[in-house]
Amino acid sequence: MKIVIVGAGEVGFHIANRLALENKDVVVVDKNAAAIRRVAESIDVQTITGSGSSPSVLLEAGIKEAEILLAVTNSDETNLVACLVCNMMSPGTKKLARIRGADFDQYHATFREQVPNIDTVINPEIEVVKTIESLMKVPGAVDVGQFADGRIKFVGIYLEKNSNLTGVKLAELPGILGDRRPLIAALVREEEVIIPRGDDRLFQGDLIYFICEDTQLLDTLSVFGKHSKPINRVLIIGGGSIGYRLAVQLEYQGIYCKIVERNADRCNALAENLNKTIVLHGDGSDQGLLSEENIGDIDVVVTLTNDEETNILSSLLATKLGAGKAITKISKFGYLNLMNAIGIEQVVSPRLSAINTILQHIRRGKVLSAISLKGEQAEALEVVALETSEIVSKPLKRISFPKGAIIAGIIRKDQIIIPTGDSVIEPDDRIIIFAHRRAIDGIEKILSVKLEYF
């Protein structure tokens, strides 16, 4: 599979790195020489210095042989033009464009209709707001996703030191929990992702990923000592485009909301466009301001400024002063693995949201969704088993699945099946797969040998 990536920023860099590790043929294009040099020195991919919207540059990148074009620069206009030019030169190439401007929101469908094969317009800000809302609703969760149109939840939580499950083998869970036992699909321990077996034990500090039916989510969370609390009051620190989008959603849900923004002009704009949200001019990392605003009565603080350090400091300060919990926006990938060590568990990343959306559309096979687990060492995939696939009509124990991968669930019409070795996949079943990064290539081969491209 050949993929041309236009844009060597954080998203382009990390997508290129991920795909290179999976032995994809990747070409990265960017007019910023320093960004291209960083890619060339760090990743085994082809690099070209030039504009991704230039026909000659795209020809040099081999766009006519490419299956996919990813336009992920920081310029919406460049990304759109790159897709338009690609469409003229190579109509069969699948195109994905990152478009962040709110002015374009209502035109996403138009772009897909007017520019053939722009399969997806990716807006990371919209996806981040959805993630924040999910984290608010799921107590104790650090990662939340969903499959089967929301009927199955995918949740990551930390095992606390006082949990009665500490030291327990997974094979022992049925005897301890009975029918309430969750399906644990992955563990993250000391930054290593483990696809667990029955003799693996749970330990304090493990990040546990489980799946369950939506109707059983709160009951399953209670197994780990996580209990639901109503969200009535939210404080947003940072009134940029993400903060504004979130405030609009909270207003719609009837949740009391305040925004703290240090730019006076932006405060005025927010006040003019929001109906019920209280807009405060100030610094969200100012302890005096937080105390004056009765931070101890706030259920959730969401820090969304463009400065990582301010977000981290504000979150730590807010929780120290008594806020229920904090959700922190982090854009630098290098910071993500450090957050839990300093006491920040709930983190969102616009760039990681963009990568998850992109992965969904570049995986071989009929992939409905793809979610990176914390640290990007593994993925959760939802795929459709087509009639010609070699994985249908025989027991799972007879399928040669790559090491480091597990089928965690089967959705058959309205039925959700927690699989065993004797389970049989039927055509049109939706399959949930958890796979370590090193197993992704093998998974794709299984899905692509007889499955169609989606």
Distances (CA, A) of 327 to 60, 248, 300: 43, 17, 7
Instruction: Identify whether 127 is part of a domain.
Output: no
Same domain, 105 and 10: yes
CATH number of 415's domain: 3.30.70.1450
Instruction: Identify whether 363 is part of a domain.
Output: yes
Same domain, 366 and 437: yes
Buried b (16+ CB within 10 A) or exposed e, 345-383: bbbbbbbbbbbbbbbbbbbbbbbbbbbbbbebbbbbbbb
Instruction: Identify whether 228 is part of a domain.
Output: no
Instruction: Identify whether 136 is part of a domain.
Output: no
Same domain, 348 and 238: yes
Flag the least confident range among 178-182, 201-205, 320-324, 449-453.
449-453
Same domain, 291 and 392: no
If phi > 0 it is left, if psi is from -120 to 50 it is alpha, else beta; for residue 413 that is: left
Same domain, 431 and 319: no
Same domain, 109 and 210: no
User: What local confidence, expressed as pLDDT, does residue 112 receive?
Assistant: 65
What is the chain's mean pLDDT, rounded? Answer: 86
User: What local confidence, expressed as pLDDT, does residue 4 receive?
Assistant: 96
- Sign of torsion, CA 212 215 217 219? negative
User: What local confidence, expressed as pLDDT, does residue 244 receive?
Assistant: 95
Instruction: Identify whether 393 is part of a domain.
Output: yes
**Band of residue 451 on the pLDDT scale cut at 50, 70, 90:** very low
Flag the least confident range among 58-72, 85-99, 103-117, 164-178.
103-117
List 405's β-bridge partners, or say none.
435
User: What local confidence, expressed as pLDDT, does residue 453 receive?
Assistant: 38
Instruction: Identify whether 131 is part of a domain.
Output: no
pLDDT digits (tens, 9 = 90+) for 3-38: 999 999 988 998 898 888 878 899 999 999 999 999
pLDDT digits (tens, 9 = 90+) for 247-285: 999 999 999 999 999 999 999 999 999 999 999 999 999
User: What local confidence, expressed as pLDDT, does residue 454 receive?
Assistant: 37
CATH number of 286's domain: 3.40.50.720
Domain count within the chain: 4
Same domain, 8 and 116: yes
Same domain, 186 and 169: yes
Same domain, 298 and 370: no
Same domain, 346 and 358: no
**Band of residue 433 on the pLDDT scale cut at 50, 70, 90:** confident
> Is pTM, for the whole model, over 0.85?
no
Domain C-terminal end among 223, 251, 272:
223
Element (H, E) at 192: strand 192-194
Same domain, 54 and 83: yes
Structure-token match 């993929």, residue found:
3
Instruction: Identify whether 132 is part of a domain.
Output: no
Domain C-terminal end among 309, 335, 352:
352
Give the domain extent around 11: 2-122
d(CA 280, CA 446): 54
Same domain, 419 and 338: no
Contact 331, 348 (CB under 8 A): no
List 68's β-bridge partners, or say none.
3, 94
Instruction: Identify whether 280 is part of a domain.
Output: yes
Residue 40, pLDDT > 90, answer yes
